Amino acid sequence: MEGTVINDRYKAVRELKPARDGKIYWVVEDQQKGKELKMLKGIALFDEKQEEEAKLEVDLLRRLDHPHVVKLLDDISFTAPNNQNYRGLILEYLPGGDLSQFFQKKLENEGGENEEEWEENDALGICAQIVLAMNYLHGENIIHRDIKPENILFFADEKEIKIADFNVSRVTEGTMSTGIAGSMEYIPPESLQAQGNENASFSLDIWAMGIFFQMLCTFRHPFATGNLFQTINNIAQNLRNPAEVVFPAMESLIQECLKIDLGERAANAAALMNHRSIVSLHQILT
């Protein structure tokens, strides 16, 4: 697909990440905007289900406007060189990559001469941006349902982030029953016990945020073992792996998110906005 000009406007420059689950991700040049770089997310239209899911994501992105949520710039339909039809979401391009790549780089350089210092304020700065974005989404009655490092993108400076990938997100007026969505390593204990259907509420996002917050400290998933069955068992029992470094201010935030009892877990991102660490950074970030 490299070099292909889509709809006489968007030239495919390079693949951002491998195609997966009928979705492709490419950096494209906008030929009508001085070859400005943008991101193309193509959703393969295999059947009516994919068409409906693509429409839901486009409709949701059109209503969003927040400095830490990726912006939809254009909505197109196109046929790829392999004759597959796609719904194309043209999104703003963030050149810093995603947080999973960032964490991997940190782990690879850990203890080496290329290791860069990472302090509590660095982690808190990203954490506060996530809380601000999620507070906005929850205020719009939107459950993201797939918060994880791969769906959080960096600007070039690796300090400012935006949340992306809303393909399983839903608008809700409260708690609703729905099929389980998202990545297994990030869904909460109650969803593991839901037997195919879960109560989709803001608490799903809060649990995933807690996992991500610890990864901002350690660069490692707190429940992962290399064995999916054991990882899921750890999630079900809230058995976090021992961590060498968890910043004190972050640990209290993590504790508010990673509670099995829904009555003890933060109900939504608004509850986290009042955390002292977030309050202290709020004025800086807004």
Domain with CATH 3.30.200.20 in the chain: 5-92
pLDDT digits (tens, 9 = 90+) for 131-190: 999 999 999 999 999 999 999 999 888 889 999 999 889 888 555 555 666 688 999 998
Structure confidence at residue 201 (pLDDT) = 86
**How far is residue 20 from each of residues 16, 23, 47, 153, 229, measured CA to CA in Å?**
12, 5, 16, 18, 22
Catalytic residue among 75, 122, 146, 157, which?
A: 146
Which residues, in sequence order, are bridge partners of residue 92?
38
Domain with CATH 1.10.510.10 in the chain: 99-285
With beta carbons less than 8 A apart as the criterion, state whether 25 and 14 touch. no
Overall fold of domain 5-92 = Phosphorylase Kinase; domain 1 (3.30.200)
Structure confidence at residue 200 (pLDDT) = 73
- Among 66, 93, 100, 85, which residue's Cα sits nearest to residue 22? 85
Least confident of 40-44, 185-189, 194-198, 278-282: 194-198
Indicate the DSSP class of residue 158.
Answer: S
Is 146 noted as a catalytic residue in this protein? yes
pLDDT digits (tens, 9 = 90+) for 196-212: 566 678 999 999 999 99
- What global pTM score does this model have? 0.90
Q: 99-285 maps to which CATH number?
A: 1.10.510.10
pLDDT digits (tens, 9 = 90+) for 217-244: 999 999 999 899 999 999 999 999 987 7
